[in-house]
Structure 1
Amino acid sequence: MTEFRSTLITLQDVINNHYFFNIPIYQRLYVWKREQIHTLLDDIFQAYDESKNEFYLGGTLVIERDCQQRNDGQTEYLFDLIDGQQRFTTLWLVSVVLGEQLTEYSQGRSEQGLRPRIGFAIRPQVTDFFARICRDESASLPEARQLEDALQEIRAFINNYQEENISLDLAALSVFIRDNIQLVLTRVPKNTDLNKLFEVINNRGIQLQHHEILKSKLLEILPKDDQNCYGQLWDACADMNGYVERHLRAVTKIDTVTLFEDQIDGTEKLAIACNVIATLQKKQQTHSLQELTLESILNSENTFTVNDDALIREDEGNQLPDRVNSIISFSMLLQHVLRIYLHEHPKLAEMDIAKVSDKDLLLIFKEYWLKNKPDATQVKQFIELLWETRYQFDKHVIKWVLVEEEKVHAIRRPYVNRSSNKGKAYLQRYTTDAAPDFAALQSMLYHSQQMTTQYWLTPLLNFLLKHDEKYAELYLQHLDNHLLCSEPDASLIQRTRRFLDNIWHTETLLSANDSLNKKFKNGTQYPHYWFYKLEYVLYLQMKSDSRRSRLIDSFRMTAKNSVEHIAPQHPENEMDKVEAEVLHCFGNLALVTRSINSEMSNKGFGIKRAEFLHRHQGKGVSLKLEHVFETEQWLKPDIQVHQDQMIQLFDDYMKDVTVQVGTIISR
């Protein structure tokens, strides 16, 4: 083979052609985390739901390492994977979890016998890990920890998806993945200079992002006199890291302090787009306007960026906000705004997008709005709504905030800081949490829902735009209960639409007994949502106990992907065994990090309790375990008592929220 050769293949082709893959030693280990895994799974599941004939996974670059004739006369190939490893390995892990029609893809019969489709060159532990999970054996090896975490994430995603889509047919999904997922397999000649090849791969050009193309399409509709101001408003919103008022100030130098302090009916002018636009237009009158065309918008070298160092110098000597990151992308925000815009538009009010999808941003906007040829007024209304939504998003929605080298979820509100020695005023953010209970609730939803959609944000942002912000936390409690603690009769996005039609929409709530008393073959099938929600409810309960102040202060809702049996499934000592009827019940389960799951393993309750009290007590790693390990024994009656207490706690919380909402509605 002397030239590059690319072919479009399916997983069935991999099976039929007897392809096996090796990860060479110069490749890094598997590094994908929750966000990348969920993005890929979201794309696959959406393609399946939409019955697409093909789903393109992307490209994979390989070098043929070996080939040999089989006894059946066919040729067996071994390739070195040199690009696309993370995506390809994730797909292989998905095939292991799903099984069904993907079993022959996850492991194939070679001349050496049955073996995993993927292996590592000089990492025997990882290869052993692959072989064990193919045999459905327990596998916990230090070098394969990231792969173990990925498996947990995939299992949790599928379990949660099944909970929301009870008609999901896993066998049909497996067939879809096997036959419809396609990837471009590029075979590289054996004599290729890999150093030069990697240099080319690493230096690939960055394509124009979809939201930048959308911006150009919308600004093209506006009169030239309006393009600059509305473009600046868009650019300030587009940078999702940091706070929007700082972005606006950095690019326009307008007086955001005055806009923040001046109010109309109790709302700061800065929150109202027309006031910001008027300020920008007034400032613009003293400058000559640059003529903008579609080409100049796309090719402009003046694309908005924020220079944090410059901002720090400008605000030197004043208290600065922590470095922050958004929980969603700008493309996602645009789609949440589009949903609200469509609902408000007289001629489009019956429409709603079918999904939130980063990669389909342009298609979604074309299908649900742009094909109707919006005029300049409508484009202005959309960008103004975008500003107002982003403003509320930054004021009331959690962000990842760096605190003492740790990223945590927090809400930081704006304030005016007046410099006594310089006589200047700065619009900044408090460094203390504005609403820790509200943040905990949002964090619970963020971790328990699909990272690439977060559908709960649409009704919450809609509420914040139209109603008194002092009820926002209660509203989100109501929304969470009726959206996720009721019998699903439609997709999640369709159900959130009901809360746009009627802010205080209600569903028939499920009792906690129905939700937490399910009988699963294995407790790991419990949706992670219920564990996260219990942490939030326990957090509210424990807040009122002064003895727990240290615990509550240290508590953070964090990503967890391992369901731990408190009384172990396979105890090291027979005396630690509990009856089968309570082994997999919710009372005997806790959602923990992978590291804590590994620590506890198959140890008995007494050992687990002693180690937890020594290492983790009071550190907020699991409020459920804090509650469990207050007891000194863990037998069937103890497990049942704990489960009953948790069910009662849920029911009391749900009833309390219902009463509070009823009081507000009746006013």
Structure 2
Amino acid sequence: MGNKHEARSGWQDSRLMTLSQLVTATDNEETGRSIGDPTVRFRVPIYQRLYVWKKEQIERLLNDILDAWKAGNADYYIGGTLVVERQSSDRQSQDLELIDGQQRLTTLLLTALYRLDAQKQPVESSSSYHDLLFHPGTASAGRDPRLHFEIRDKANIWLHTALRKGLKEARKLNLAEEQAHDNFGISPHNETISDDTPRDGGIVKLEYGIEIIEEWFTNNSTLISDQPQGQCDFDTYLLNHVRMLVTSVPGTMDLNHLFETINDRSVQLEHHEVLKARMLKWLKGDDNGEGKEGTYTACARIWEACSAMDDYWEDALAEAAGKNKVNVYEAIIEHKIWRSGALGGSVLSSVALSGKAAIDLCRPKDVAQNSDPAKDEVSLEKLVKDWGNASDLPSNTDKAGDGDHAEKQSSASLISFPMLLLHTLRIWLHRHGPKGADLERFDSFKLLETFDALLLSDNSMSHPLPDIRERVKSFIELLWEVRFLLDQYIIRWVELKEGGEWGHRILRLEQNKSTSLRRADAEQSGDKELSLLQSMLYHSQDIRQLLWLTPLLGYLHSRTFPTEERSGQTALVPSEQGTESDLTVFMRHLDNGLFSSPSLGSKNSETEAESLLQRSRAFLEKPWRSFKKPTIEPLHGGFHGTDDMPRTSHYWYYKADFVIWRRYQGGSQSNESLPQLQGQNDVTQGQLEDAWQHFRFTARASVEHIRPQTSQEEGQEKEGWGDALHSFGNLALVSRERNSEFSNKPYHEKRVKYLTRLRQKDLQSPKLALVYLYGGVPEPSGLGLKHGEWGAEHAKAHMEWIERSMEEYFSLAGYSGKKIADTEP
């Protein structure tokens, strides 16, 4: 056995593995080596934090696994784990020192511990949970925990007790630990336990993790017992279908350098970094006479620039290319590698930097010095060895000069880089892949598997681009162009005020009259409707996918970077003050078709529900496609739903707010002035209009009854309300904080609080503004409703008014397709 571990000590590898495979000898088909090992131990070194995950992080991981299991997914991918191989002192075990991903793996092991204890199996059992948690040991030593914390003796004693005697006995140790830490003010349920706690004080955090896991299983017991048809049970799924990218490196590495790099740059070897190595290996010959000089190095720099999602593209490109931002601007303007913008800017021209032009900009100055294939070759092993070092792949050869005077805008992207890669892949498949090719599921944890199957597989007989090298080149060019469009026309998180207030904005890089470039707020060009539409969809849809981005980015790409077959298309009309841009019209059309229409009118729409993935693909193929007229039926679901209609989703609350806001503020069509306020509202017309101008969508997750279900006013009756109490007319979507503060307070008390916020330019919700300022209906209703009051008749009239407004909005030009181009891309 000792020879076996000696033979393995000099190699490094990376593989997607399950928990069971970690402790089972499994051959790697690519290397012929065994990755899993029945004798493995997981060691947490002293320089690592103990266990610090909190309730939110633990529950998010378990919820994601549960969702994947319930959806029938074959596997679920949870990210990467970096380990260093060590040989145990007795030379009988393989020790894996956890360098990165320790918190996630520890959570999974604690989950296995809880499930093992809940099943009340004997210590001698050979179940999968036992095999995962217990080291086989020797006949004399018995079975000890596989997980071991260096120096932290009390944590190890707690684990040993929990495994051999059960969690009930281990909790007694926790009580003793609490008493021992009284002087430090530590509570076992306090989520702000200090990381400065003495090293042996680790029991509290492990016990806290177990309590959260136990609570989660209790709350989800019904879902877990309801095993999906054709799916394994949840425990089997947890052990055999939750996969992580385990990267092992030899113990001979300079770990100080490795760990400092991880701490300094907060990077980990993620799937997209492995994909980078796999993709670029097809281009390594291009720096050695087999293609245009410097392509390999330039594409590596483009990838690096695209991955810097929290920087605007000009900052990321300057850093990756080893230039300052002024150099990038000069190259764009002086060398004419830009075209006049077709997608926005009132009197300014919009810049468009193509993928080919960006690659040329990133080519090394001296190809002879930068094209040594032995030096520049990219491999997974080299990527792991340098772990986050910029030299692991060809990068910037020159440091940015002192000419970069423009400060970076504090901002953050809506999506992660793996999400950008998947959106780009969908567009690439539409442009270059087999007919109808698309992702089976939009899952960033399946990034490697997805690219292997759809872009890197050797299916030359059936693929329009048989040469994989050409596929990679075309994909990286497209990746840059999509990243460029993301920064130009899609909202980002932007710091609005110094000190922490963030909101959604579109800041476009545009050329002014002096030929210099600047980032300008698109709303100054009358495009607030565009940014609010995008913000509405961001807050109301699954932020792990944002599938509406694929057809939107595809549409932008076909108009911004036309190919020969699309060169005759009519460009989008620039936005001007007081008018709608065609991009805004398309955005409205896309939203209505994806989320408000019952179907796209496909052949199977009557019998088979279309997934959002399928719908978004349909709009990618034909952006101005027709669809069935949107319906207001979902509004009738209300708070509880009915036998025929589910409860109204959050999307429709956001949609109602947008429609109301737009009616009195948005585009040029159907634009009205806010009705004059009547009576004593404690706010002026100017204050209301000012708050309306400043309206922004924010995260709201709680549905509030305007007339509460249980009122604090004694003697208040529910007579006359009936179904109106739980109808959409008596409901509003608010933040959890507001709902917990106001949920049971009477209408008049809520109104006072709302008006106070409104005077501070916080509109919160246009729907609520109508409720508290206009009695729900901002026009003569004929019912004699009094403003400043709220009864069942107000809620019903408010509901009817919203339905009419929705119908009018859906009747605007563009819901069924306003065709601008003569041909579709």
TM-score normalised by the chain length of structure 1: 0.70
C-alpha distance in structure 2 between counterparts of 1:330 and 1:491, whole Å: 24
Q: Does 1:654 align with 2:810?
A: yes
Given that 2:691 and 2:762 are in contact with CA atoms closer than 8 Å, whether structure 1 keeps it comes out as yes
1:486 paired to 2:486: no
The correspondence for 1:585, drawn from 708, 717, 727, is 727
Question: Which 10-residue stretch deviates more, 458-467 or 408-417?
Answer: 408-417
Alignment partner, residue 629 of structure 1: 772
Query: Does the CA contact (< 8 Å) of 1:569 and 1:602 recur in 2?
Result: yes
Q: Aligned residue for 1:248?
A: 317
Q: Is the 8 A contact 1:256 1:270 kept in 2?
A: no
Aligned-pair CA distance for 1:54: 8.2
Match of 2:660 in 1: 538
What is the deviation of 1:288? 4.2
8 Å Cα contact 2:51-2:106 kept in structure 1 = no
Per-residue CA deviations over 1:587-645 (Å, capped at 9, x if unaligned) read: 11111011111221211112111222123454121221111111222111100000111
Map residues 85-96 of structure 1 onto 2, 5 A cutoff: none
Mapping for residues 293-442 of structure 1, pairs under 5 Å: 293-295=377-379, 298=383, 299=386, 301-302=390-391, 314-316=403-405, 318=406, 320-345=407-432, 348-372=434-458, 374-404=467-497, 405-416=500-511, 427-430=517-520, 433=523, 435-442=527-534
| Rounded Cα–Cα distance in structure 2 between residues aligned with 1:53 and 1:246 | 38
Q: Is 1:565–1:588's contact at 8 Å kept on the other side of the alignment?
A: yes
Asked if the contact 1:47–1:55 (Cα under 8 Å) also holds between the matched residues in 2, the reply is no
CA contact 1:256–1:427 (8 Å) conserved in 2: yes
Residue 271 (str. 1) matches residue 353 (str. 2) = yes
The structure richer in helix per residue is 1
Conserved 8 A contact 2:355-2:477: yes
- Give the deviation of 1:243 after TM superposition: 0.6
Deviation at 1:312?
Answer: 11
Match of 2:551 in 1: 459
Return closer, same or farther for 1:480/1:432 CA change in 2, 3 Å cut-off.
closer
State the distance in 2 between where 1:251 and 1:271 align. Answer: 16
Contact 1:240 1:329 in 2 (8 A): yes
Residues 257, 416 of structure 1: 8 Å contact kept: no
Give 1:585 deviation, angstroms.
0.7
For the residue of structure 2 that corresponds to 1:590, the secondary structure is: strand
Q: Give the 3 Å change call, closer, same or farther, for CA 408–265 of structure 1 in structure 2.
A: closer
CA distance, structure 2, for counterparts of residue 8 and residue 473 of structure 1 = 51
Bigger Cα displacement from structure 2, 477-486 vs 273-282: 273-282
- The CA distance in 1 between the partners of 2:410 and 2:621, in whole Å, is 37
Greater mean alpha carbon deviation, residues 283-292 or residues 408-417: 283-292
Deviations 1:77-102 (A, max 9, x none): xx9xx99xxxxxxxxxxxxxxxxxxx
Shift of 1:214: 1.1
| Cα deviation digits, residues 87-134 of structure 1 (max 9, x gap) | xxxxxxxxxxxxxxxxxxxxxxx99xxxxxxxx98869999xxxxxxx
Query: Which is higher, the Rg of structure 1 or of structure 2?
Result: 2
Give 1:506 deviation, angstroms: 2.5
Moved more, 484-493 or 276-285: 276-285
SS of structure 2 residue aligned to 1:302: helix
* 1:496 is aligned to 2:588: no
Deviations 1:565-584 (A, max 9, x none): 11111112355444231111
Matched position secondary structure for 1:480: helix
Which residue in 2 is equivalent to 1:92? none
**Corresponding residue of 2:584:** 473
Asked if the contact 1:568–1:604 (Cα under 8 Å) also holds between the matched residues in 2, the reply is: yes
CA distance, structure 2, for counterparts of residue 446 and residue 584 of structure 1: 26
Query: Counterparts of 1:626 and 1:304 in 2: how far apart (Å)?
Result: 55
Query: CA distance change for structure 1 residues 418 and 466 in 2, over 3 Å: closer, same or farther?
Result: closer
| Structure 1 residue 427, shift from structure 2 partner | 4.1
Which structure 1 residue ranges, 5 or more long, are not aligned?
A: 1-5, 10-25, 84-109, 112-119, 128-146, 159-167, 186-199, 420-424
Percent pairwise identity: 28
The aligned counterpart of 1:220 is: 281
Amino acid at match of 2:793: P
**Separation of aligned partners in 1, 2:484 and 2:393:** 18
1:602 and 2:749 correspond: no
Distance in 1, matches of 2:311 and 2:394, equals 11
Which amino acid in the other structure matches residue 329 of structure 2? T
Q: Name stretches of at least 5 consecutive residues in structure 2 with no aligned partner.
A: 1-17, 22-49, 79-103, 124-132, 134-146, 149-166, 169-176, 179-185, 192-210, 243-258, 288-292, 343-349, 460-466, 560-570, 573-580, 600-608, 666-671, 675-684, 776-787
Write the distance in 1 (CA, Å) between the matches of 2:630 and 2:736.
Answer: 30
Counterpart amino acid of residue 501 in structure 2: E
CA distance in 1 between partners of 2:420 and 2:19 (Å) = 37
- Give the letter for the 2:328 counterpart: D
How much has 1:379 moved relative to structure 2?
Answer: 1.2
Query: Which stretch shifts more, 459-468 or 567-576?
Result: 567-576
Paired with 2:690 and 2:506, the residues of 1 have a C-alpha distance of: 21
Distance 2:804 2:822 in 1: 27
CA contact (8 A) 2:351 2:511 kept: no
Give yes or no for contact 1:456–1:496 (8 Å, CA) kept in 2: yes
- CA distance in structure 2 between the partners assigned to 1:32 and 1:313 by the alignment: 44
Q: Please say if residues 260 and 269 of structure 1, whose CA atoms lie closer than 8 Å, have aligned partners that are also in contact.
A: no
Q: What is the deviation of 1:378?
A: 1.8
Q: Give per-residue Cα distances to partners, 1:266-319, cap 9 Å, x unaligned.
A: 577752112222344484558643432123862464268999xx9796443x5x
User: Is residue 483–residue 495 contact of structure 1 (8 Å, CA) maintained in 2?
Assistant: yes
Which residue of structure 2 aligns with residue 645 of structure 1?
801
RMSD: 4.7
Distance 1:666 1:238, change over 3 A: closer
Q: Deviations over 1:484-526 (max 9, x none)?
A: 11226221111111112211123213421x1211255369942
Cα 1:221/1:406, change in 2 over 3 Å = same
Larger CA deviation: 209-218 vs 257-266: 257-266
Matched residue, 2:298:
229
Pairwise CA distance, 1:545: 2.9
Alignment-mate amino acid for residue 216 of structure 1: A
Instruction: Give the counterpart letter for 1:651 in structure 2.
Output: E
Q: Secondary structure at the match of 2:547?
A: coil
- SS at structure 2 position matched to 1:208: coil
Contact 1:59-1:183 at 8 Å conserved across structures? no
Aligned to 1:556: 696
Counterpart secondary structure, 1:608: helix
Deviations 1:317-357 (A, max 9, x none): x5x45211111011000011101111111x52321001221
Question: Structure 2 counterpart of 1:561, which letter?
Answer: A
1:518 is the counterpart of 2:607: no
Aligned equivalents of 2:282, 2:317: Cα separation in 1: 23
Give the equivalent residue in structure 2 for 1:22: none
1:52 to 65, 74, 96: 74
Query: Which deviates more, 45-54 or 575-584?
Result: 45-54
Cα distance in 1 for residues equivalent to 2:711 and 2:615: 43
Q: Paired residue for 1:192?
A: none
Kept in 1, the 8 Å contact 2:427–2:550? The answer is yes
Change in Cα spacing, 1:418 to 1:657, as seen in structure 2 (3 Å) is closer
For 1:294, what is the secondary structure of its paired residue? coil
Could you say what secondary structure the match of 1:629 adopts? helix
In structure 2, do the counterparts of structure 1 residues 270 and 640 end up closer, same or farther at CA, with 3 Å as the change threshold?
closer
* Partner SS, residue 654 of structure 2: helix
Separation in structure 2 between the aligned mates of residue 619 and residue 581 of structure 1, nearest angstrom = 31
Task: Tell me, yes or no, if structure 1 residue 32 matches structure 2 residue 45.
Answer: no
Whether the aligned pair in 1 keeps the contact of 2:455 and 2:468 (CA below 8 Å) is: no
For residues 207 and 183 of structure 1, the distance between their equivalents in structure 2, rounded to whole angstroms, comes to 24
Q: Letter of the 1:486 partner, please give it.
A: S
Amino acid at match of 2:281: E
Query: Is the CA contact (8 Å cut-off) linking 1:322 and 1:403 kept in structure 2?
Result: no
